[in-house]
Amino acid sequence: MKVAISSSGKDLNSQIDPRFGRCSYFLIVNTSDMSFEVFDNESGALGGGAGIQSAQFVASKGAKAVITGNCGPNAVNTLYAAGIQVFLGNTGTVTEALDNYKNGNLTPAKTASVPDHNGLDAGTGGNRIMGTGGGRGMGGGGRGRGGRGTGGGRGMGMGGGGMGRGKNIS
């Protein structure tokens, strides 16, 4: 039987990615011989509908079960409509999750584990936004008082490397 697992890496020793719709990779594993295929999750960058698109993708690959950390209601409903069992709340490696699945230690989910996100909201910018601040520190602004200084007025303050404090919706 084929099982789809949201993964942060490309092999069975990778950690489970807790985000179904926005995971990095899907590993589609044949549990009878542990052979597997790796797919980049191209739906992860969508502004909305990532869960539904991801659910349709794993269904198209013949998966009969999904093992992941969290999954929203739209994705769960799409998976159930396709006849796919959903196992939520999983952590650890892909191999550990598969062992738990094969040993009957996982319980199918009845509902989603997170609320409907309605896609990426403004301000996330893929989990980070560019900072707009003037930087921090003693600079003097190039007026004969020490040059540009920390940040140099290029938004390098507080968020590190020019990144602001966007809301992380992992």
CATH of the domain at 33: 3.30.420.130
- The pLDDT tens digits of the residues spanning 138-161 come to 555 555 555 545 544 444 444 444
pLDDT of residue 119: 54
Q: Tell me if 33 is assigned to some domain.
A: yes
- The pLDDT tens digits of the residues spanning 71-126 come to 999 999 999 999 999 999 999 999 999 999 999 999 999 888 888 765 554 344 44
Q: Tell me if 148 is assigned to some domain.
A: no
Domain total of the chain: 1
Determine how many CB atoms are found less than 10 A away from the CB of residue 46: 17
Q: Give the C-alpha separation, 9 to 24, whole Å.
A: 7
Q: Tell me if 29 is assigned to some domain.
A: yes
Q: Tell me if 157 is assigned to some domain.
A: no
Q: Tell me if 130 is assigned to some domain.
A: no
pLDDT of residue 127: 42
Find out whether 21 and 50 touch, Cβ atoms under 8 Å: yes
Q: What is the mean pLDDT of residues 11-21?
A: 97
| β 2-7/25-30 pair status | antiparallel
Residue 34 domain boundaries? 2-103
Q: Which residue has the higher pLDDT, 130 or 52?
A: 52
Q: Tell me if 80 is assigned to some domain.
A: yes
pLDDT of residue 9: 98
Helices (H), 43-93: 50-60, 73-81
151's tokens? 């940040």
pLDDT of residue 113: 85
pLDDT of residue 109: 93
